[in-house]
Amino acid sequence: MIFKEELISSERIYEGKILNLRRDKVTAIQGEAYREIIEHNGAVAMVAINDNDDIVLVRQFRYAVGRPVLEIPAGKIDKGEMDPLGAAVRELKEETGYTAGSIKLLGKINVSVAYSLEVIYLYLMTDLTAGEQQLDEDEAVEVIEMPFDEAYDMAARGELVDAKTLAALMMAKEQR
């Protein structure tokens, strides 16, 4: 039998623009324990594939890891935005300039089940039409297109490090 922890009390530690942090006191198997939980509205990420079977990737500097990272287009679900699909359409256009004629939900993933409520909805987008990027003021995003199989092989060799990209490539390979 699995022991289910129950909330005793909760304290907001930090409130930010994209995430909040709380400290929950919970029942534990041997009394009480504390759990630090990141609250996040969620995000979307897109495997966008053009008519040549090239995947659309983005390279941008990621401050947290201190270097540029190659990943699939993605973005947060804005506060009050209830539809992940709408967020995905918006984010693909903003980051890459593309719009998709066909969209399929690949699935969703939890970023880290130990401490985060963030869920990322993963979409396969095809029948792409090119357009202009609509980047946020603080974004610098390079769009890179390469054969899907090449990107998948890069992931298999450990050359791609972004978790949502790895999960989405695996799911897309199986479902396309």
Where in the sequence numbering do the catalytic residues fall?
137
167 contacts 109 by C-beta, under 8 angstroms: yes
- C-alpha dist (Å) from residue 76 to 5, 44, 83, 137: 29, 6, 12, 15
Q: Which residues are CB-contacts of 100 (< 8 A; sequence separation ≥ 6)?
A: 46, 48, 89, 92, 125, 126, 127, 128, 129
Mark residue 88 as left, alpha or beta (left: phi above 0; alpha: psi -120 to 50; beta: remaining): alpha
